[in-house]
Structures are given as structure tokens and as C-alpha cells.
């Protein structure tokens, strides 16, 4: 530990960084230090050092001390926009300076009239080297008064840095739809940690330690931000060669955001988070819809005990450090077993949340800060608690709702380690059956443990719709409201409430008639579910004997097994992406052939349609770097990838052909738009078949999800054995509405008559050529759509696994003649709402 005193760089009044009216500084995104409201006009060196960066607008300069501490001085706010006007640099990059040497002279009158503020910041940017920092207060005089006193910790990266040179990547545009949020930040940190060089992620003036998740997230990098990776050290070249392409390809991020939160760093008035809602009705509390559904139950306030920790260490710092290391290790093991358990339950989404927690525990900033406090005689528990709380606090203040939401993850994992350190295991409260939980905040670990038979819903004061807690609630099918008015915490245990997760409301002491209505509805729903389940293994036949096949959309072997249990008659869509995502290399032919055969065995003789890889510009694969596209949904995706980079598709085709030996497999190609495409693919299949001695028989089909395929259905039908209509994409391409768009997504309804007419055109074209048609888009799982699709003439409905019993039951409720009459009416409607009104639903 060393001490460094930095002299005032200007005459003026010291202002705490937190009071600077610019979040980049006040939230310490660039570094930690203090600000000064200047009365002089020459910025001087606060210590000896080398000028390592002079901004071309001459408003900011960075000095690096002999010990590697980086000090950035930034004159005024928004002064970069002055493009050098009003500033005169007195030094150049590479100059060696002594305390008191002039660095930049500026024209205070010009700045006062042309910039937002004259406040000048002095920041330590490599905060991982900071053990503590104390700014002066009041009036200071340049060069003579102390301004910042800092304690620094040894630089482990310095050796590496000294032993190598500095290499920068080319500028990279960030492709991730939600920017570098927790998951890609974790992937980046993990990649960077493989190298001994110091690695920085830079965006303009801002920079972050690329080995630190928190530091990366602190930059709030948004989609299309331009960044550069800078590596300094012995393996700098290798680091850039490895990291830059993966960063450009999206770090394996699918870009899928489950909820409509803005990801931009600039406030977008259209997307800006709404102010916390408040209700004037004393019996109605408002929040944000986090997980849909209605829960009627009694309040149970879930309070987590504060863990008391001694500030001063009982033992030597060495011993405390070991305690911390052991606790972190144990927490990682716990998280590892939690993930194994969740993967075994086929819940990879939840497992990924805890993988991100594990990554947070690898964060060097977090550990460094805790260890520096331990070195000063603090107990491991105290040092750890302060380190993670400070980081979480910093995250929670970020503008980007998604990143701010990750503060809960950090607190969760922090508390897990603290519980281990203090022998204070997170004991489970006895939650009464029929509870609606109210809590200040629920951690992802708390949520994953909730038992939906006991807990009928929950409301938290913190959190938002994009938090991991909300995602978990949706996957558990528990209604939830986030950001509820804090007075919810004052409700007495046992108070009757109705929680409406869809509207984001909590009704206190509701009208008994309303409670009755909801309970009756829920009871009817439960009874219907039971009845559908009881008949799940019977055929789906209309009252006049027309048989419709009801099969499943699956994403792996567990879905396949469950579909059989729920009466699925086969698989209408295996989304083979599951084999390709979340890994660093493509699956081999043998691995694929084995998995496809295993799934077919789980289906016990039932047929399966295997869709070839459907990824693209919107879902990049780390091992398949593709150029960034302006319009990924209109770019190289689906079968186009297979044709452009045929090695992947050829391997998959061989694997399917081999697995088809002895199993009923069909092969289907996504996103077919032209006849040339299907002919090319068929040629490719024949070439691969000719290479194999053990190929089975497979029928070939296409997804109809581009309007051109529907319009030309008859011609396509002559090329293939079957069609499956992907209404999710067909709707987005027909209506030109992005299916994941926060505002348009809900309007992109496949019940729109335009889409129904294309479905009819597809069915007619196929039937004329003697081919059959399935629907595998989401609409097939919607009970309101079933009779219309059957009436149009669809032969097979491929639905989400849980929907199988209800869809089969729906088919049984009408005659084919009724369905046909209904379809006729639907096709002549003007709007999706009119179509839906033809099939009213009680539920
Ligand atoms: C569809 O587009 O309807 C479909 C089933 O494919 P995916 O949802 O996988 O794009
Ligand atoms: Mg699709």
C-alpha cells in the first residue's frame, strides 16, 4: 500500500464528485476523485508524471505516475463540443512533467458562455488500484494545497504491462440489442481474464477494465456504440486477436430481451422509464407488470434479517483474506450445484442467471476492494459487505434499466458469500399456503426457490419488468408486480389482497364479489385443465370425425419426453438451435446424430420434424462470425446462412440422415423465400446422402414464413413433401412489424385476416398438389385460433408442450362444418379484433 498526495490543479472551491451535474462523473463511471470550481485559468500538474493522453479537443489530459496511477483531468462539462476553442495545450503526449507544471490554459470567459459548466474533475481512472481516497474541502490554491490524498494498492497488471507493448483493436460497433448488459459483459470479462495483459474497453473518453463485469457495465455500452479494445502486455496481440472478433459478433448474445426496456444510454423520450406510478385510491397500489396472472391471497411480508458483522478483524489480514477466499469458493460451488440442478430440470434460462452470478464473483474489482479493506484491519465480512454494497449501489443508479436491474443480482450473490462468512445461512421463512409475498426486494435465489403451490404471487418495491426476478416469476408462472408503492410494506400479514400481475396492481381488502368472480374463474380454469389433461391421450377429432394431428414444438429431449406425457402425437418442430447456442464450437456430426436419435427414441415411434439451424444476424454464433447487418431480419438468416456457409448445414444434414435410420424423421428448412433456395438445398441434401452408406429415409419440407412462399405455395408444393407455417415470422413479414418490438409486438397478431388469407393460400396450394400442411407458429397454441385453422384446412397443429391437452380439447368441441363456417367468416373480417370476437373466450 502506498500513499500519494495530489496537489490542487487549479485555484478554486472543492466540489464532491457526487454533486457534479453529469452522471458520467457523479456516478463515477470514468473514475473516482473530486471536482473543483475554478478561479484560475491554468491547469497544472498535481504530481510528477507522464502525459499519457491529451484529448484532441484539449479539454482533458491524463497523467500517469511512475507507480502507474492514471489521473484524468477534465476541464468543464460538455467541453468536448467546443472542439478545442478556448483551450491551449501546454504539453504534448509523452511529455514528462513535474508538480506545478502547466498542462492546459483555458479562457474562463469563453468557457463560461459556451459550455455547461466550468467544474473541472480530477479522477483516478484505474480505480482497481485505489484503496481509499480523501478529497480536501473548501478553498484550495493550485500547486500548494493538497487536493486528493489516495492510498493505492500494488499493481499486479504492471509487470505484465511493462513486459509488453500496447495493441489496439479496430473500432467495433456493438451489435447486441441490449448493449453490453450482464451476460455479454460476463463473457467479455471471462475472455479478457485469459490473458495476462492489462485490457481496457474504451469508448471515446470513457474506459473500463475489461476484466471487470461491474466496470464494463458501468460504461453502459449500448447497441451501435463504437468501442476499441486496448491490450498492454506480453500477450496483447493474442488478446486482441481473440477478443475483438467475438465482441464484434455479439459475444454469443441472442439479443433477445424479454421485456420492453430501453437499452440506449441516451434518454429516449418514447422509451424512457415511466415515473413510479402512484394511486389516489387508498385500497389500490400501483407498480409495474412483471409476470401476468391473478393471485387472490393473504399478505405475507418477507423480511430478510440484516446480518450484523464486526468491523474490526479478529485475526491477521492473512487469515481474513483466506476466510474470504474460502467463502467465495464455497459460494461458487453452491451456484455450480444450483445450475446443475436447474439444467437437470431442463431449465437452462434459470441456470444462466446463476452462471452470471458466478461470474460476478470472479470480478477483480470486487475482490480487490474487499482485500484492500482487509489489509487495513477490517474483518473479511465487513470488507466484503462494503465492497458488494457499494458496487450494487453504483449499478442501481445507472440510467439503463436492464443494467440497474443487475444490482439485485450483485446483492444476492454478495449476500450468499456474506451468509457463508458469518455462518448465517439464508434460513427459509415458513410461508403460509395461499400467500401473496411483499418484499422490499426479492433476490433471484429467493425467487427460484418459491413454491407456486404456496405462493400465489408477489410484489416487490424494487426491481422492474426486465429484472432476473421478473424473468424467473414468468418461468414459474407466478403473478408478480415490481416497483410497487412502498406503502405495500406497511400492510399487515394476513390482509386479503388481489394481485394483478398483468396490470401491475395490488388491490387491498377487495370487494367480496370481485374475489368470488376471480376465484370462480380460477376454479373453472383449474377444472378445465384437469379435464383436458384427463383426455390428453385421446385423438383430436372434431364432433363429425375429422382428425387433426396435434404435435409439439420442442427445444430438446426433456420437452420431447414431456410432450409424450401430455398426449403429443409427435414433434412438428424441433428447433435445433439448442444444440448450437451457448457454446464456443459447432456440434459435431456424431454428437448431433446421437442427440437426434435419442430424441426420436424418447418419442417412441412418433414422427419428428427437425428444422435445420435457424440463426442469423439477429442471433449470432460465436464460431460463425457474420458481418453486422443493417436489417438482420431481412439479411442472412435461416436457410440463407446454410447456403452461404454450407459446411454447417452439410454437417447437420448428414447427422439427420444418419439419425433417420430406424426413426421417423422429417427435415425442414427455415425462411425459404424463393424456389431457387429450396432447389439448392435439395441438391445439397442429395449430395450428402450420396456420401453416406447408412442414411435413412426422410421427407423434406419447408417452413412457410415469408409471404412469397405462401403466395407461391402451389409451386413450392411440387418441390417438397410438406409445409409447416411459421406464423410468428409470417406475421412479422406480412405486417412489417418486428415480432419482438416493444410497441408493435402486441399488434403483430397472426389472427389478422391478411395472415389468415396467406394461410388459406398455402393450404389450398399444398392440397391441390396432394401435400399436407401444419402450423407451428405461436398461433397454433392459442385456443381461440384452433377452430379457424382447422376450418381453413390445416392438417396438423404443432404447439408448445404445455398447450397440447387444451388444443386437443378445443378441436373436439366443434364439427368440421362449424369450423369451416367460422373460417369463412374470419377470412372476410377487417381486423384481428373482429376475428377474435368470433371466438369469445371466458378465460
Ligand atoms: C415461426 O416463425 O412461426 C416459427 C415457428 O419459427 P421461430 O419462432 O423459431 O422463428
Ligand atoms: Mg420463424
Query: Considering only CA atoms, which residue is closest to atom 6 of ligand 1?
Result: 726
Ligand 1 pocket residue status of 800, Cβ below 6 Å: no
Give the closest ligand to the alpha carbon of residue 611.
1
Q: What is the per-residue pLDDT for 596?
A: 97
Mean pLDDT of 498-509: 91
What is the structure's pLDDT at 671? 96
Nearest CA to ligand 1 atom 4: 726
According to the model, what pLDDT value does residue 571 have?
A: 98
Of all atoms in ligand 1, which is nearest to the CA of residue 705?
Answer: 2
Return the pLDDT at 197: 87
pLDDT at 10: 96
Confidence of residue 265 (pLDDT cuts 50, 70, 90): very low
- The yes-or-no answer on residue 537 being catalytic is no
- Tens digits of residue pLDDT in 152-182: 887 655 555 566 678 888 778 788 877 787 6
Lowest-pLDDT choice from 43-47, 523-527, 650-654:
523-527
Weakest-pLDDT range from 389-398, 431-440, 509-518: 389-398
Q: Is the pLDDT of residue 752 over 50?
A: yes
Please indicate whether residue 583 or residue 29 has the higher confidence score (pLDDT).
583
For residue 258, is pLDDT > 50?
A: no
In terms of C-beta density within 10 A (0-12 exposed, 13-18 middle, 19 or more buried), how is residue 59 classed? buried
- Please report the pLDDT score of residue 620 as a whole number: 65
The stretch 587-611 carries a mean pLDDT of 97
Average pLDDT over residues 332-344: 84
Give the pLDDT confidence score for residue 827 in this predicted structure: 98
230 C-beta closer than 6 A to ligand 1: no
Which of the residue ranges 86-95, 111-120, 484-493 would you say has the lowest mean pLDDT?
111-120
3-state DSSP assignment of residue 641: helix
Say if CB 364 and CB 297 are below 8 A apart: no
Q: Please determine, for residue 818, whether its predicted confidence score (pLDDT) is greater than 80.
A: yes
The whole-number pLDDT of residue 434 equals 93
Provide CB contacts within 8 A for 609, sequence distance 6+.
551, 571, 572, 573, 574, 665, 666, 667, 668, 701, 722, 724, 774, 776, 798
CA distances from residue 677 to 587, 613, 668, 713 in whole angstroms, order as listed? 24, 15, 13, 14
In this prediction, residue 467 carries a pLDDT of: 67
Q: Which secondary structure element, helix H or strand E, spans residue 49, and what is its range?
A: strand 49-54
Residue 481: φ, ψ to 5°: -125, 130
Which atom belonging to ligand 1 lies closest to the Cα atom of 728?
3
Residue 739 and residue 748 in contact, taking contact as beta carbons nearer than 8 Å: yes
> Which of the pair, 88 or 158, is modelled with greater confidence?
88
**In whole numbers, what is the pLDDT of the chain averaged over residues?**
86
Verify whether ligand 1 is closer than 6 Å to residue 776 (CB atom). Answer: yes
Q: Is the pLDDT of residue 504 over 60?
A: yes
Query: Is-catalytic flag, 819?
Result: no
Please check the confidence at residue 190 and state whether its pLDDT lies above 70.
Answer: yes
For the chain, the straight-line distance linking the first and the last C-alpha, in angstroms and rounded, comes to 66
Q: How many CA atoms lie within 13 A of 238 on its CB side?
A: 11
pLDDT for 502: 80
Contacts of 510 (CB under 8 A, 6+ apart): 283, 296, 496, 497, 498
Q: Which of 727, 745, 776 to mutate to test the pocket of ligand 1 (most atoms within 8 A of CB)?
A: 776
Percent of the chain with pLDDT over 70: 90
- CA 671 to ligand 2 center in whole angstroms: 7
Which DSSP string do the residues of 482-514 spell out, in sequence order? Answer: ES--GGGGGSPTT-EEEEETTTTEEEES--HHH
Residue range 357-387, pLDDT digits in tens: 888 888 877 887 888 889 888 899 999 998 8
What confidence score (pLDDT) does residue 273 get? 41
Which of 75-89, 282-296, 495-509 ranks highest by mean pLDDT?
A: 495-509
Q: Which of 357, 468, 663, 819 is catalytic?
A: 468
Q: Which residues contact 119 (CB under 8 A, 6 or more apart)?
A: 15, 20, 35, 36, 37, 76, 77
Indicate if ligand 1 lies below 6 Å from the C-beta of 618: no
Most ligand 1 atoms within 8 A of CB, residue of 637, 705, 725 to mutate: 705
Amino acid at each position: 500500500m502506498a500513499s500519494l498526495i495530489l496537489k490542487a490543479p487549479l485555484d478554486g472551491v472543492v466540489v464532491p464528485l457526487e454533486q457534479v451535474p453529469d452522471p458520467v462523473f457523479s456516478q463515477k463511471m470514468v473514475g473516482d476523485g473530486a471536482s473543483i470550481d475554478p478561479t484560475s485559468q491554468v491547469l497544472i500538474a498535481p504530481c510528477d508524471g507522464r502525459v499519457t493522453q491529451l484529448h484532441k479537443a484539449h479539454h482533458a489530459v491524463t497523467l500517469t505516475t511512475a507507480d502507474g496511477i492514471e489521473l484524468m483531468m477534465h476541464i468543464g462539462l460538455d467541453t468536448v463540443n467546443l472542439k478545442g476553442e478556448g483551450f491551449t495545450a501546454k504539453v504534448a503526449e509523452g511529455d514528462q512533467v513535474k508538480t506545478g507544471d502547466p498542462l492546459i490554459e483555458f479562457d474562463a470567459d469563453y468557457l463560461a458562455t459556451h459550455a455547461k459548466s466550468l467544474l473541472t474533475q480530477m479522477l483516478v481512472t484505474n480505480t482497481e488500484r485505489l484503496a481509499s481516497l480523501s478529497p480536501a474541502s473548501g478553498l484550495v490554491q493550485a500547486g500548494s494545497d493538497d487536493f486528493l490524498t489516495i492510498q493505492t494498492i500494488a499493481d499486479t497488471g504492471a509487470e505484465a504491462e511493462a513486459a509488453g507493448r500496447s495493441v489496439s483493436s479496430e473500432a467495433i460497433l456493438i451489435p447486441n440489442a441490449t448493449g453490453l448488459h450482464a451476460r455479454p459483459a460476463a463473457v467479455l470479462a471471462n475472455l479478457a481474464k485469459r490473458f495476462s495483459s492489462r485490457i481496457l474497453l474504451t469508448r471515446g473518453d470513457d474506459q473500463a477494465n475489461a476484466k471487470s463485469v461491474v466496470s464494463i457495465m458501468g460504461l453502459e455500452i449500448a447497441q451501435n456504440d463504437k468501442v476499441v479494445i486496448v491490450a498492454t502486455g506480453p500477450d496483447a496481440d493474442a488478446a486482441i486477436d481473440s477478443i475483438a472478433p467475438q465482441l464484434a459478433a455479439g459475444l454469443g448474445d441472442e439479443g433477445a430481451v424479454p421485456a420492453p426496456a430501453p437499452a440506449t444510454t441516451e434518454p429516449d423520450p418514447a422509451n424512457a422509464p415511466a415515473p413510479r406510478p402512484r394511486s389516489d385510491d387508498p385500497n389500490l397500489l400501483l407498480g409495474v407488470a412483471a409476470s401476468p396472472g391473478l393471485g387472490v391471497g393473504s399478505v405475507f411480508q418477507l423480511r430478510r434479517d440484516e446480518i450484523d458483522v464486526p468491523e474490526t478483524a479478529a485475526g491477521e489480514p492473512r487469515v481474513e483474506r483466506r476466510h474470504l477466499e474460502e467463502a467465495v469458493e464455497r459460494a461458487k460451488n453452491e451456484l455450480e450445484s444450483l445450475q446443475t440442478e436447474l439444467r437437470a430440470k431442463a431449465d437452462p434460462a434459470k441456470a444462466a442467471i446463476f452462471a452470471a452470478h458466478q461470474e460476478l464473483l470472479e470480478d477483480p474489482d470486487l475482490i480487490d476492494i474487499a482485500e484492500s479493506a482487509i489489509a487495513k484491519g477490517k474483518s473479511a465480512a465487513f470488507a466484503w459487505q462494503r465492497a458488494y454494497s457499494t458496487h450494487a449501489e453504483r449499478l442501481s443508479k445507472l440510467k439503463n434499466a436492464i443494467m440497474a436491474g443487475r444490482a439485485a443480482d450483485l446483492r444476492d450473490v454478495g449476500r450468499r458469500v456474506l451468509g457463508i462468512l458469518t455462518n448465517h445461512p439464508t434460513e427459509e421463512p415458513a410461508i403460509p399456503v395461499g400467500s401473496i409475498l411483499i418484499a422490499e426486494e426479492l433476490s433471484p435465489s429467493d425467487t427460484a426457490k418459491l413454491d407456486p403451490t404456496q405462493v400465489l404471487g408477489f410484489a416487490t418495491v424494487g426491481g422492474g419488468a426486465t429484472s432476473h426476478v421478473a424473468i424467473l416469476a414468468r418461468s414459474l408462472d407466478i403473478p408478480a408486480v415490481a416497483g410497487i408503492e412502498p406503502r405495500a410494506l406497511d400492510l399487515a400479514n394476513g390482509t386479503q389482497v388481489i394481485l394483478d400481475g398483468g396490470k401491475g396492481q395490488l388491490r387491498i381488502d377487495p370487494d367480496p364479489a370481485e374475489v368470488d368472480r376471480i376465484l370462480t374463474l380460477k376454479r373453472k380454469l383449474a377444472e378445465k385443465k384437469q379435464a383436458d389433461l384427463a383426455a390428453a391421450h385421446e385423438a383430436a377429432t372434431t364432433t363429425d370425425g375429422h382428425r387433426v394431428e396435434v404435435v409439439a414444438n420442442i427445444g430438446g429431449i426433456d420437452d420431447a419426453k414431456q410432450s409424450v406425457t401430455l398426449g403429443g402425437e409427435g414433434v412438428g418442430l424441433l428447433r435445433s438451435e439448442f444444440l448450437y447456442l451457448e457454446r464456443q464450437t459447432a456440434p459435431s456430426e456424431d454428437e448431433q446424430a446421437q442427440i437426434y436419435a435419442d430424441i426420436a427414441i424418447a418419442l417412441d415411434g412418433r414422427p419428428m420434424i427437425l428444422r435445420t439451424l435457424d440463426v442469423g444476424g439477429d442471433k449470432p454464433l460465436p464460431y460463425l462470425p457474420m458481418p453486422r447487418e443493417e436489417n438482420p431480419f431481412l439479411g442472412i438468416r435461416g436457410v440463407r446462412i446454410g447456403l452461404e456457409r454450407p459446411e454447417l448445414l452439410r454437417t447437420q444434414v448428414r447427422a439427420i440422415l444418419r439419425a433417420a435410420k430406424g426413426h421417423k424423421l422429417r427435415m425442414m428448412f427455415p425462411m425459404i423465400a424463393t424456389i431457387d433456395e429450396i432447389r439448392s438445398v435439395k441438391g445439397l441434401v442429395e449430395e450428402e446422402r450420396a456420401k453416406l452408406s447408412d442414411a435413412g429415409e426422410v421427407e423434406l419440407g419447408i417452413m412457410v414464413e415469408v409471404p412469397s412462399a405462401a403466395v407461391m405455395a402451389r409451386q413450392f408444393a411440387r418441390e417438397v413433401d410438406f409445409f409447416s407455417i411459421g406464423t410468428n415470422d409470417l406475421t412479422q413479414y406480412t405486417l412489417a412489424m418486428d415480432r419482438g418490438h416493444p410497441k408493435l409486438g402486441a399488434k403483430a397478431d397472426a389472427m389478422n385476416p391478411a395472415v389468415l388469407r396467406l394461410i388459406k393460400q398455402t393450404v389450398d396450394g399444398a392440397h391441390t398438389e396432394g401435400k399436407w400442411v401444419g402450423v407451428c407458429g405461436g398461433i397454433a397454441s392459442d385456443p381461440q385460433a384452433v377452430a379457424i385453422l382447422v376450418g381453413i384446412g390445416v392438417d396438423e397443429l404443432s404447439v408448445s408442450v404445455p398447450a397440447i391437452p387444451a388444443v386437443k380439447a378445443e378441436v373436439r368441441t366443434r364439427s368440421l362444418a362449424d369450423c369451416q363456417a367460422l373460417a369463412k367468416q374470419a377470412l372476410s373480417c377487417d381486423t384481428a379484433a373482429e376475428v377474435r370476437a368470433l371466438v369469445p373466450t371466458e378465460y
